[in-house]
Amino acid sequence: MSEYLNISELVGKTLINIVKSDDNDEIRFYTENGEVYLMYHEQDCCESVFIEDICGDLDDLIGSPIVMAEEVIEERPPLDEWDESYTWTFYKFATNKGYVTIRWYGTSNGYYSESVDFIKVKEESE
């Protein structure tokens, strides 16, 4: 299993591609150095964690070095009044071309993780 990283790992790196899954449960970041990072949730039994919204244009993060990458957890109302436990996690990114915020929502019965995982999945050979 890969080591979990802080999102600030992307600061100073230049992205060449970003791919979001169709079901909003993961997003991959590809750097010009051949590194690939994955933002996802290691799914367990009684939880759901997904990308709820993206504010900004992901293309603004491509082709220029990342100057800001931070995680912010905010207290907000749940998406569904029946959610027993929930977490709003915001990932804020910036380059000289613009800002993007990826908003994740996690819900569970309170006994499982609602966090987002960030790992380096591989380094492509030159």
Determine, yes or no, domain membership for 126.
no
Q: Are strands 98-108 and 47-55 parallel, antiparallel or unpaired?
A: antiparallel
- Domain presence at residue 36: yes
Task: Tell me if 2 is assigned to some domain.
Answer: no
Q: Which pLDDT score, from 0 to 100, does residue 109 have?
A: 84
Residue 125 lies in a domain: no
Is residue 22 included in any domain, yes or no? yes
% pLDDT > 90, the chain: 72
Average pLDDT in the 53-79 region? 95
Q: Does the structure show a pLDDT above 50 at 114?
A: yes
Domain with 111, as residue range(s), is 7-120
pLDDT of the residue at 123: 59
Residue 92 lies in a domain: yes
- Compute the distance between CA of residue 26 and CA of residue 31 in angstroms, rounded to an integer: 17
Q: Considering the entire predicted model, what is its pTM?
A: 0.90
Rounded to 5°, the CA angle 53-57-58 comes to 85
- Asked whether the predicted pLDDT for residue 61 surpasses 50, the reply is yes
Number of domains the chain is built from: 1
